[in-house]
Amino acid sequence: MKRFIALTAACAAFLTITTAVAHATVTPSQSTPVGLEHDPEGIVARGRTNGSGDVTFSKLKQGNYTVLLTDTSTLRAPATVLVKSKLRNEVSAPIAPGKRGTQAFALDTSGRKLTVVVVKDGESIIVHVQTATENRELPR
């Protein structure tokens, strides 16, 4: 039994020393083209993210909206879209960089278009786009 415990401890120590540590660096995505689609009208607003990764769509009509990146070629890494509205905040599944002119809808974790509801006319939606790049380093 003592041998088993000693062997298990030695294996655990070896794995701890040799395993690469991974962490992500999150960066706001600047100048990313974003569109806002209103059901049933189609794309009703376009904008680009600022230096903080935000774009605000103001004075919206009541209804359901979905967010899309209108040109995924501007992404340098997979991006996550955070949508802030009066009712709640939503986070998308990662969106991969694409070819020039490729559009991609922000999807929820179930793979459906992420939908934001504007309850009354005049409300705003803030869209934040950020990328995460994985950094790998060996422990010292």
Q: What is the pLDDT of residues 41-95, one digit of tens each?
A: 999 999 999 999 999 999 999 999 999 999 999 998 999 999 998 888 999 999 9
Structural contact between residues 36 and 61, judged by C-beta atoms closer than 8 angstroms: no
Domain that holds residue 115: 24-137
The SS3 call for residue 130 is: strand
Mean pLDDT confidence for 99-104 = 94
- What's the confidence (pLDDT) of residue 47? 97
The reply to whether 9 falls in a domain is: no
Please give the single-letter amino acid code of residue 118: V
Domain containing 118 — which CATH number? 2.60.120
Identify the DSSP state of 92.
Answer: P
d(CA 126, CA 124): 7
User: Shortest CA distance to 83 belongs to which of 130, 31, 127?
Assistant: 127
pTM, 2 dp = 0.77
The reply to whether 3 falls in a domain is: no
139 prior amide bond cis, ω within 30: no
The reply to whether 126 falls in a domain is: yes
If one counts the domains in the chain, the total is 1
